Structure 1
Amino acid sequence: MIDGNLAFKLEKDFNPPFGIPWKREEKEVTAEHKKGANGRFAPGLPSKSDGQMLFMLNGVAKLKDTGRMAIIQNGSSLFTGDAGSGQSEIRRYLIENDWLDAIVQLPNDSFYNTGIATYVWIVTKDKPEERAGKVQLIDASQCYTSRRKNIGNKRVDITGACRDLIVKLYGDYTDGTFKDTDENGNDITVKSKVLDAVTLGYNKITVESPQLDENGDKVLKKNKPVADTKKRDTENVPLDEDIDAYFEREVLPYNPDAWIDRKKTKVGYEIPFTRTFYEYKQIEPAELIAKRIEEHEKSLMAKLHELFGEEA
């Protein structure tokens, strides 16, 4: 995909390892994090079991003000980590600074050492005006040619025709499903969706309910209801939606005595890649399934009779 095309001219590109713990480097990484804006890891630290997002922050820190980079990540970087966690804060850092330009899902089995889904994150510190406040998601998982001979887990190739189609969609910057054929005449498909960056964020609110005494009355402290920690719940409210309006619509009708503990509200970000490109498939009617099972049973019984005679 990095082929000299202006649309994908990069200052840096990275393919860090996935799922590699950084506990051994914890002292140095934590010290760097404590430097704040003067260090590479100021936004947050990911789980110690997987350091791939540290590589992302390292790359961003080295980018020029007009720079662009591409980095390979697995699916966990899209959604792992609750609101306020290191992973979520890293996503928040990229999105709220308007540096996350696009994410491209590659076909499974694209790399020789893993068959899992992989994604190219394109980070741009100087987005053009028409891309400001937006994030483009590109699903290229069905854009590949099967290899005649596997190399480890690598079973597919992203050919020139595939790269051209992906780059074209990135440049066209539009929603839709686009089809073409590769060098061997096989069908290839790429989907694109441009999202408002704010839709990737949410406020995680804590919903409290009153503690009740043995008579079913509210327990009060300084004339205020005491929260029952066993009934505590949370809700994720889209960042572009008013929290109070959401609470009145989604919570109060079912729990009229509930309230929000606003001190516990946290902002989170995730990239709902699978949900964005989900396509509902009509389920086959139960009558047809039952009929097909009945036909299979009749066919099986006929073969048993033929094999063992009428006693079967």
Structure 2
Amino acid sequence: MFLKFCEIDLHPQSISSLEMGYLFEELIRRFSEISNETAGEHFTPREVIRLIVDLLIANDDTKLTGRGIIRQVYDPACGTGGMLALTEEALREFNPSIRVELFGQELNDESYAICRSDMLITGHDPENIAPESTLANDAHPEKRFHYMLSNPPYGVDWKDDQDVVKAEAESLGHEGRFGAGTPRVSDGQLLFLQHMISKMRDDEAGSRIGIVMNGSPLFTGGAASGESEIRRWILENDWVEAIVALPTNLFYNTDIQTFVWILSNRKTTNRRGKIQLIDASVDEFWTPLRKNLGQKNREIHDEARENIVRVYGSFSNDDSRESTVSKIFDVADFGYREIRIERPLQLSFQVNEERLARLRDEKAFLALGAEDQVDLLRVLGEIPKSIFKSRKKFSDELSKVFHGLNFKVGAPVKKAILNSLSKRDQSASICTDKKGNPEPDTDLRDHEVVPLKEDWREYFEREVKPFAPDAWVDEKHIDKTDKQIGRVGYEVNFNRHFRPYRKPREIDDIDKEIFAILDSLAKNIEEMRI
């Protein structure tokens, strides 16, 4: 085997750097499968890394030109160092005299060792690559970086880091790394993004971030959830320049779709308050591989990568060809206000065996002594068997019969009686509180999502009131940040903007087509019999 390997011509004139990169990645993928590790946690396809790098430096021509330029690059989940190496390569291609300092941190011991070795071989300081979890132990707490890029693990829980992360979020708030919030413990991608934002430089050069994640960080979590609050913090601070949807089947261990986020704290004037969405998942931006590498069967070729960068640089949203893959939005276009819609509680009451059986199962009733239980059921039997359409009238009847009891009925028992002997009835009177205000029916409670740019009152009058005249908006359901009615949420839905709704075909047309196929099949069968 060793002799056969030695016979392979691996000279740079025979095998390009890109092809050599694929060989390296294929070896890592195979060894990862043998050791039952997730290959995607070790490396990112080289063409994806190069795309991220090109997007990061696309607008930095003047900043990178000249002598004495120093740039610090950081990857908080650096794996074997592929992202760091390709970033340096791209920066040196642009400016051969540039000095690039690489920093990273990696949890996996084997990947950390490979990356550190690569730093030694290429003349970088290996001490800049740190082991252990980035989330629990920031190895570069005082450092700030010009460029940051990463491919954090998708859908990997952060239970091991949970105590440390939540303690930092609660004690330091926005002075720490996770002040915007914490996502659900099953996926830590947004924690890595917050960590990277905390590393932005607060000087004239500023910082740029490129991170590739799956679709979950775009929309998981409703208003006021950890994920939504993180998106809100990022978007309202106007850090996101663009989000690029990549093709499926680009990675070695998964066929899911991924998205590249490009962030900056030094946006150009024309991009301020705006976000560009680029749909690079369409056919023109990828080509099939001759042979699958794991689940990877597509690649972004050089020309396609250049086109994506060109679309990003054009910042176009007109009627040209690019408008079908590039759209520009205001930050507020991704926000919404979730208002709570209430409907009145309407109950009818009746004493019958079915409802008394429910009462016997109530905890408050079971807490009574045996004699008190019998006594209570006796006096309830004295109430007329007719249906009461008013809770007040039924409560008055209860008060009358309670005088015949040998014990005082407490509030928990009375509540159990009303719950057991009631039934929702749209023909009954509306139940009111002590102030005469209608009580909400929690079973009919609903929430409406109102675009942030629209007044919720106008939305309610147009979209809710005509269909539920008795509905109202719960004005106590407010946002904890702006104290306004309705909780604010943010999400980015690519399908809504690039996959327009198409009305389904009419049922009659589908039926006709089915019957035509059945007739054709019947004729074919008949001909076969003949």
TM-score relative to the length of structure 2: 0.53
C-alpha distance in 2 between matches for 1:199 and 1:253? 26
C-alpha distance in 2 between matches for 1:168 and 1:207? 46
| Aligned residue number for residue 326 of structure 2 | 192
C-alpha distance in 2 between matches for 1:234 and 1:283? 27
Structure 1 range deviating more: 103-112 or 227-236? 227-236
Alignment pair present for 1:37 and 2:174: yes
Question: For the structure 1 residues 79 and 268, does the alpha-carbon distance in structure 2 shift closer, same or farther, using more than 3 Å as the test?
Answer: same
C-alpha distance in 2 between matches for 1:221 and 1:236? 31
The one of 297, 307, 318 equivalent to 1:165 is 307
CA contact (8 A) 1:176 1:191 kept: no
Which of the pair is proportionally richer in helix?
2
| Aligned residue number for residue 271 of structure 1 | 492
CA contact (8 A) 2:53 2:210 kept: no
Give per-residue Cα distances to partners, 1:78-99, cap 9 Å, x unaligned.
1110100000001001110001
CA contact (8 A) 2:157 2:185 kept: yes
| Aligned residue number for residue 26 of structure 1 | 162
CA contact (8 A) 2:217 2:227 kept: yes
The one of 422, 426, 429 equivalent to 1:217 is 429
C-alpha distance in 2 between matches for 1:132 and 1:150? 41
Deviation, 1:26, is 0.9
The one of 27, 34, 46 equivalent to 2:183 is 46
Deviation, 1:262, is 2.2
C-alpha distance in 2 between matches for 1:33 and 1:294? 63
CA contact (8 A) 1:41 1:54 kept: yes
Matched AA of 1:223: G
Matched AA of 1:111: F
Matched AA of 1:54: L
| Aligned residue number for residue 226 of structure 1 | 439
Matched AA of 1:194: I
C-alpha distance in 1 between matches for 2:345 and 2:516? 59
Helix, strand or coil: the match of 2:201? coil
Which of the pair is proportionally richer in strand?
1
C-alpha distance in 1 between matches for 2:252 and 2:262? 22
Alignment pair present for 1:245 and 2:458: yes
The count of residues paired between Structure 1 and Structure 2 equals 301
Give per-residue Cα distances to partners, 1:52-77, cap 9 Å, x unaligned.
11111111111223111111111111
Q: Could you say what the CA RMSD is over the residues aligned between the two structures, in angstroms? A: 2.4
Helix, strand or coil: the match of 1:256? coil
| Aligned residue number for residue 278 of structure 2 | 138
Give per-residue Cα distances to partners, 1:184-230, cap 9 Å, x unaligned.
xxxxx970110111010011111112223424323232232222222
Structure 1 range deviating more: 275-284 or 162-171? 275-284
Helix, strand or coil: the match of 2:276? strand
Counting only pairs closer than 5 Å after superposition, residues 32-181 of structure 1 correspond to structure 2 as: 32-34=168-170, 35-65=172-202, 66-142=206-282, 143-175=285-317
Helix, strand or coil: the match of 2:58? helix
| Aligned residue number for residue 207 of structure 1 | 341
Greater RCO, CA 8 A, separation 6+: 1
Helix, strand or coil: the match of 1:241? coil
Deviation, 1:120, is 0.3
C-alpha distance in 2 between matches for 1:176 and 1:294? 45
| Aligned residue number for residue 254 of structure 1 | 467
Deviation, 1:282, is 7.0
Structure 1 range deviating more: 219-228 or 51-60? 219-228
Give per-residue Cα distances to partners, 1:277-307, cap 9 Å, x unaligned.
0135576676775565455445534543454
Helix, strand or coil: the match of 1:126? coil
Give per-residue Cα distances to partners, 1:213-253, cap 9 Å, x unaligned.
42432323223222222221111111111111212222222
Helix, strand or coil: the match of 2:476? helix
Q: Larger C-alpha radius of gyration, 1 or 2?
A: 2
C-alpha distance in 2 between matches for 1:18 and 1:241? 35
Give per-residue Cα distances to partners, 1:137-158, cap 9 Å, x unaligned.
0000021011001111111110
Helix, strand or coil: the match of 2:160? helix
Question: For the structure 1 residues 234 and 299, does the alpha-carbon distance in structure 2 shift closer, same or farther, using more than 3 Å as the test?
Answer: closer
CA contact (8 A) 1:176 1:192 kept: no
Helix, strand or coil: the match of 2:297? strand
Helix, strand or coil: the match of 2:244? strand
CA contact (8 A) 1:110 1:157 kept: yes
